[in-house]
Amino acid sequence: MREATGPTVGIVANPLAGKDVRRLTSGVTPVSDAVKIGAIRRAVVGAFEGGAERVLISGDRSRLGDRALAGLDPSGPVEVLEPHGWHTGRDSQLAAARFCELGVGAVIALGGDGTQRDVAKGWRNVPLVPLAVGTNNVFPSQLEATVAGFAAGAVASGLGVAAEVTAQAKIIDITLESSGGADVALVDVCLVRGSFVGARAVWESASVSEIVAAIAEPPSVGLSAIAAAVAPVGRHEAGGVHVRLGCASKNAQRSRRIRAAVMPGSYSDVDIEHCERLRFEQPVTLWGPGVLTLDGERETVLGRGERADVAVNSNGPQVIDVGAVVAAAQRRRYPFVPVVADG
C-alpha cells in the first residue's frame, strides 16, 4: 500500500471489543458486529465531510471493514488493510503502526480501554478519536461516529488545527525486570492473584492486590473505579494514584471498606489498605507472584520475586477534542457577523 498522499483518516475497529466474559457474567448485551459496521460506515461519511481525501480501515478476520463498505458510496477512496490474522489486540496494534508509517493524519479507534491501549502500543502519540464500543470505556468517549469521523477528517486536513484541538493523554509505562520487556497502559495497571492469564478479563475484585491508575474518575466502571472511590484523579490532572487492597479483618486499624462498580451491572465490596497520589515519573514496584492486568485485561505473569516497575507519564496519545474541532471547522467554513437585536 502506498504512502498517504493527501489528508488521510485511519479507522481501527476491534471485532472482539465489547464481547468479553465480563458482559456475559453481568448480563450486559455484547456489542455486535452490526453495531461496529454501522459505526464504521458513519465514520467514513464523516471523515470525508471533514476534509479527508482518503480513508484506511484496519483489516480483521471478521471483515468488518469490507462489510461496512458494502453498498456504501463514499466521497473518496477507502481501502481496507490486509488482516494480520492474529484475531487479538495485536491486530489493532499493527494497524496503528502501519497508519503511522503511511502518514495518516488522524485515527478513529472503535473499542474499549483495551483497544485504545493496543492503538497506543502501535503508535504512542497517535492523534486519536477514541470511540467507546467496549466493555470498560474509561478512556474512550460515547460519541456519534458521524461526528467522530468529521473531527478526524478535519484534523487530518488542517481544517481543525491539531495543536488547538488536541490534548496529550497520560500513559503508564511498565518495565519488566526479569525479561527486560516493556509495555503500556492508558487507564490502570493492576496486580492480581493467580499464575495464568486465562480468559484475560478481570471481573473479581477479590483477586486484586494493587492498582496504579492514571485515570480514576468517579463515574468510571472497572478496576480504576476502586481507586476513584478513595483518591480520584482526572484524565487531565497531573500524575496518578497507587492503591493497595487489604483485608479489613486482619488490618482493622488501617483498612477501609468501599463499594465500587468493578464491571457493568455489578458492585463489589473492596477493602483499601493504602493509597497515595503519584507524581509523573514516580516509580511504583509491583512484586510477584501474580498477574499484571493492563486496562482490565491479564497480560503478564510475574513469578515469585519478579518485579514490574510502573510509572505514570504525560506523553501518551494526542486525544482529539471532537467538540472543539467541530466548532473550529464551523468558524472557518461559515464566518459571519452576529446580528445584534434592536433595542
- Class of domain 171-313 as given by CATH: mainly beta
Residues 187, 193, 197, 201, Cα dihedral to 10°: -50
Q: Could you give the 3-state DSSP secondary structure of residue 150?
A: helix
Q: Which residue positions in the chain have pLDDT lower than 70?
A: 1-5, 18-29, 195-204, 247-254, 343
The amino acid sitting at 154 is A
List the chain domain ranges.
8-169+316-333, 171-313
The reported pLDDT for the residue numbered 240 is: 98
The reported pLDDT for the residue numbered 85 is: 77
Tell me the CA distances in angstroms from 252 to 226, 285, 318, one per residue in order. 19, 25, 43
Cell 487479538 identifies what position?
Answer: 88
The reported pLDDT for the residue numbered 141 is: 92
Q: What's this model's pTM, rounded to 2 decimal places?
A: 0.89
The reported pLDDT for the residue numbered 23 is: 46
pLDDT in tens, 113-139: 999 999 999 999 999 999 998 777 899
Tell me the CA distances in angstroms from 17 to 87, 223, 232, one per residue in order. 11, 17, 26
Tell me the CA distances in angstroms from 198 to 185, 251, 299, 300, one per residue in order. 19, 31, 10, 11
Distance CA 171, CA 214 (A): 7
Architecture of domain 8-169+316-333: 3-Layer(aba) Sandwich (3.40)
Distance CA 10, CA 40 (A): 11
